[in-house]
């Protein structure tokens, strides 16, 4: 019995060791121009937690820390990173500058930050990239969609992730079915259904 417990203990210790995120190599890198972007960008982090995808997260600025940005972008692929999710507000050059120095696909998240005029400055800075250096741009503050898109990119070569995405989409469909059941109960004089 004692011997049996010993092996169970060993296996659970090993499982914990293997599943410890601090020992995993990140597949995705979330970067942002400033920690003031974190309230938006944490939505991507939550999504990766949901899908159990190891990720790293950094504040980096093409304007304020150009050398660090270059080191990060040039080393990302070799460190195992496969997708970069980059958020920035205002004159949002970070996603494009990173995209110019890596072969990882970059998903840009425009952010309506305090220095932004109305968000359009950030959207256009990220969206209107010159030919040759694409940045996949999501909606203003759309970090969750950036996360989903990153998972879809990773899933192209990963059947486990494909199955999780199928479940995820089924969950979205269920919500709409439920919404229609609720709408059915709403009454209006001229409502026909």
Binding site for ligand C2R (CB under 6 A): 32-34, 36-37, 61-64, 88-94, 111, 113, 115
Token pair in block for residue 135: 């940045």
| Residue closer to ligand C2R, measured from CB, 27 or 32 | 32
Distance of CA 129 to the CA centre of its chain: 20
Token pair in block for residue 113: 């930050």
| Residue closer to ligand C2R, measured from CB, 36 or 162 | 36
Q: How far is the CB of 134 from ligand C2R (least distance, A)?
A: 17
Q: How far is the CB of 77 from ligand C2R (least distance, A)?
A: 20
Cα–Cα distance, 88 to 38 (Å, whole number): 10
| Residue closer to ligand C2R, measured from CB, 61 or 145 | 61
DSSP string, 151-184: HHHHHTT-HHHHHHHHHHHHHHHHHHHHHHHHHH
| Residue closer to ligand C2R, measured from CB, 76 or 151 | 76
Token pair in block for residue 33: 């121009």
Q: How far is the CB of 98 from ligand C2R (least distance, A)?
A: 9
């Amino acid at each position: 019995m004692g011997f049996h417990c010993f092996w169970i203990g060993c296996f659970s210790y090993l499982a914990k060791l293997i599943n410890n995120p601090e020992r995993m190599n990140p597949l995705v890198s979330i970067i942002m121009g400033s920690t003031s972007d974190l309230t938006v960008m944490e939505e991507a982090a939550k999504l990766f937690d949901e899908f159990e995808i190891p990720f790293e997260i950094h504040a980096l600025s093409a304007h304020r820390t150009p050398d660090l940005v270059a080191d990060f972008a040039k080393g990302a692929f070799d460190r195992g990173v496969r997708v970069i999710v980059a958020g920035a507000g205002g004159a949002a050059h970070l996603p494009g500058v990173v995209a110019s120095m890596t072969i990882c696909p970059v998903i840009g998240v425009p952010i309506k930050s305090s220095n932004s005029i109305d968000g359009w400055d950030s959207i256009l800075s990220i969206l209107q990239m010159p030919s040759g250096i694409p940045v996949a741009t999501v909606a203003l503050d759309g970090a969750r969609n950036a996360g989903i898109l990153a998972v879809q990119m990773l899933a192209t070569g990963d059947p486990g992730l494909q199955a999780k995405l199928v479940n995820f989409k089924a969950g979205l469909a269920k919500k709409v079915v439920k919404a229609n059941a609720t709408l059915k109960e709403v009454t209006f004089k001229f409502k026909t259904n």
